[in-house]
C-alpha cells in the first residue's frame, strides 16, 4: 500500500541472461514510475477533542445525576439493564483516559528527545550503570 506521504524508490535488477524476467522487471518499473501521491496534513486538535469529550461527560453526568469530578470509567458499574446514557458515559470516560495516557506518553518522549538534543547525545553514549561491564577478550 503506497500512499499518503510514503516515499517509494523502486530498484530494479536487470539481468542480461534472462530475457523474460528482464522484460517483466521493466514493465513493473514503468508501472511503479506512474505512482503519485497527494500529501495532505493530518492535523488533529487533541485539546479541542478532549474538551468536547469532557463537555459530553458533564452533560451525561447531569442527565444521570452523577458528579463528574474524579469520575473514572472503572467507577461505573454496568448492569444487564443499564441505560444507553450510562454506557456512553463509561465509553467516553474510557476514551478520555486513553487520550490523556497517550498524551502523557508523548510528553515524556518529547521531554527525553529535548534532553537528548540539549546535550548532543552525550548522555546516551556514556556507559550505562544498569548494564554489566564488557569483558575484555
Give the pLDDT confidence of 111-135 residue by residue, as tens digits: 888 887 787 766 666 656 666 666 7
Mean pLDDT of all residues in 95-120: 87
Dig out the grid coordinates for 134 from the structure: 564488557
| Predicted structure pTM score | 0.56
**Contact by Cβ (8 Å): 61, 71:** yes
The mean of the pLDDT values for the chain is 83
Contact 38, 3 (CB under 8 A): no
Q: In the prediction, which pLDDT does 91 show? A: 95
Q: Report whether pLDDT(106) > 80.
A: yes
What is the CB-side half-sphere exposure of residue 134 using CA atoms within 13 A? 4
Amino acid at each position: 500500500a503506497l500512499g499518503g506521504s510514503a516515499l517509494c524508490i523502486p530498484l530494479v535488477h536487470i539481468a542480461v541472461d534472462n530475457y523474460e524476467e528482464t522484460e517483466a522487471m521493466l514493465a513493473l518499473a514503468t508501472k511503479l514510475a506512474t505512482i503519485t501521491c497527494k500529501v495532505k496534513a493530518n492535523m488533529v486538535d487533541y485539546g479541542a477533542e478532549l474538551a468536547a469529550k469532557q463537555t459530553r461527560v458533564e452533560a451525561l453526568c447531569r442527565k444521570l445525576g452523577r458528579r463528574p469530578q474524579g469520575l473514572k470509567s472503572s467507577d461505573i458499574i454496568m448492569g444487564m439493564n443499564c441505560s444507553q446514557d450510562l454506557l456512553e458515559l463509561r465509553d467516553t470516560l474510557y476514551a478520555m483516559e486513553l487520550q490523556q495516557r497517550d498524551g502523557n506518553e508523548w510528553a515524556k518522549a518529547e521531554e527525553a528527545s529535548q534532553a537528548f538534543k540539549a546535550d548532543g547525545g552525550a548522555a546516551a553514549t556514556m556507559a550505562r550503570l544498569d548494564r554489566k561491564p564488557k569483558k575484555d577478550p
